[in-house]
Amino acid sequence: MAGQKKLLRALAGEVLETPPIWMMRQAGRYLPEYRATREKAGDFLSLCYNPELAAEVTLQPIRRYGFDAAILFADILLVPQALGADLWFVTGEGPRLSTVTQQADFDALKPADAIHDKLAPVYETLRILKGELPQDTTLIGFAGAPWTVATYMIAGRGTPAQEPAHALREGNVALFEALLDRITKATITYLSAQIEAGAEVVKIFDSWAGSLKGAAFDKYAMEPAREITAALKAKHPDIPVIGFPRGAGEKYAGFAKATGVDCVALDQSIDADWAAANVQPNGCVQGNLSPEHMVTGGQALVDETRRIVKAFSKGPHIFNLGHGITPDADPENVQLMVDTVRGAARG
Tens digits of residue pLDDT in 307-344:
999 999 999 999 999 999 999 999 999 999 999 999 96
Q: Please report whether residue 54 resides in a domain.
A: yes
Q: Please report whether residue 244 resides in a domain.
A: yes
Q: Please report whether residue 1 resides in a domain.
A: no
Number of domains comprising the chain: 1
Q: Please report whether residue 100 resides in a domain.
A: yes
Tens digits of residue pLDDT in 30-76:
999 999 999 999 999 999 999 999 999 999 999 999 999 999 999 99
Using CA atoms, how far residue 207 sits from 68, 93, 250, 287, in Å, is 23, 18, 16, 14
Q: Which domain holds residue 117?
A: 6-344
The per-residue DSSP string of 10-53 comes to: HHTT---SS--B--TT-SSTTSHHHHHHHHHHSSHHHHHT-HHH
Catalytic residues: 25, 29, 38, 75, 152
Half-sphere exposure of 216 (CA within 13 A, CB side): 14
- The answer, yes or no, to whether residue 2 has pLDDT greater than 50, is no
Tens digits of residue pLDDT in 112-131:
999 999 999 999 999 999 99
Cα-Cα end-to-end distance for the chain: 26
- The answer, yes or no, to whether residue 276 has pLDDT greater than 80, is yes
Q: Please report whether residue 13 resides in a domain.
A: yes
Question: What CATH number is attached to the domain comprising 38?
Answer: 3.20.20.210
**Host H or E run for residue 338:** helix 331-344
